[in-house]
């Protein structure tokens, strides 16, 4: 059984709670991402998305110097690294989220995205098809 540990991205771009909205936006732009975990040391305390920056930040007339803790989401769905990929898929569908932070004892270890799940599923399906073809061609 494959777990999130097998597919999670571990090179996470993060911001500190006191980082500005401008800093978070620049990190998103520079790394071509729309989601940044907010950390205090290595402990995850929230997440900020490009949508948070726009809807809760700039549309509410916050300046670029406002701290991300003003607009971040701190009620976060997370999973542990040993969560099965199927369980994570169901969790993400149920919660309607595109990215799932992977934590252990509140420490951020990585992130799994819908794309990671799709890539894994595609590989798994291809492997299953290949195995079926191999089995069908065998002569006993």
User: What is the Cα–Cα distance from 99 to 9, expressed in whole angstroms?
Assistant: 11
Q: What is the pLDDT of residue 127?
A: 36
Instruction: Tell me the per-residue pLDDT of 100-138, one tens digit each, with 9 for 90 and over.
Output: 999 999 899 999 998 888 887 654 443 344 334 424 544
Q: What is the pLDDT of residue 121?
A: 64
Where residue 21 falls (left for φ over 0; alpha for ψ -120 to 50; beta otherwise) is alpha
> Domain count of the chain?
1
Mean pLDDT by runs of 10 across the 140 residues of the chain is: 91 96 97 95 93 94 94 93 93 92 95 86 45 41
Least Cα distance to 20 among 45, 38, 34, 35 occurs for 38
Which string of DSSP letters, residue by residue, matches the chain? --BHHHH-B-----EETT-BHHHHHHHHHHHT-SEEEEEETTEEEEEEEHHHIIIIIGGGT--TTSBGGGT-B-S---B-TTSBHHHHHHHHHHHT-SEEEEEETTEEEEEEEHHHHHHHHHHHHHHHHHHHHHHHH---
- Strand bridging mode 35-40 / 43-49: antiparallel
Q: How much is the pTM?
A: 0.80
- What CATH number did the domain enclosing 66 receive? 3.10.580.10
Q: What is the pLDDT of residue 120?
A: 72
Residues spanned by the domain of 120: 4-137
């Amino acid at each position: 059984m494959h777990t999130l540990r097998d597919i999670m991205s571990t090179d996470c771009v993060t911001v500190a709670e006191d980082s500005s909205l401008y800093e978070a936006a620049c990190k998103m732009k520079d790394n071509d991402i729309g989601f940044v975990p907010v950390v205090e040391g290595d402990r995850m305390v929230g997440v900020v998305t490009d949508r948070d920056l726009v809807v809760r930040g700039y549309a509410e007339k916050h300046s670029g110097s406002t701290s991300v803790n003003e607009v971040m989401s701190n009620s976060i769905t997370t999973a542990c690294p040993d969560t099965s990929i199927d369980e994570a898929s169901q969790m993400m569908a149920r919660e309607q989220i595109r990215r799932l932070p992977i934590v252990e004892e509140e420490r951020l270890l990585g992130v799994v995205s819908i794309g990671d799940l799709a890539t894994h599923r595609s590989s798994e399906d291809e492997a299953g098809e290949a195995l079926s073809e191999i089995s069908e061609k065998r002569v006993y």
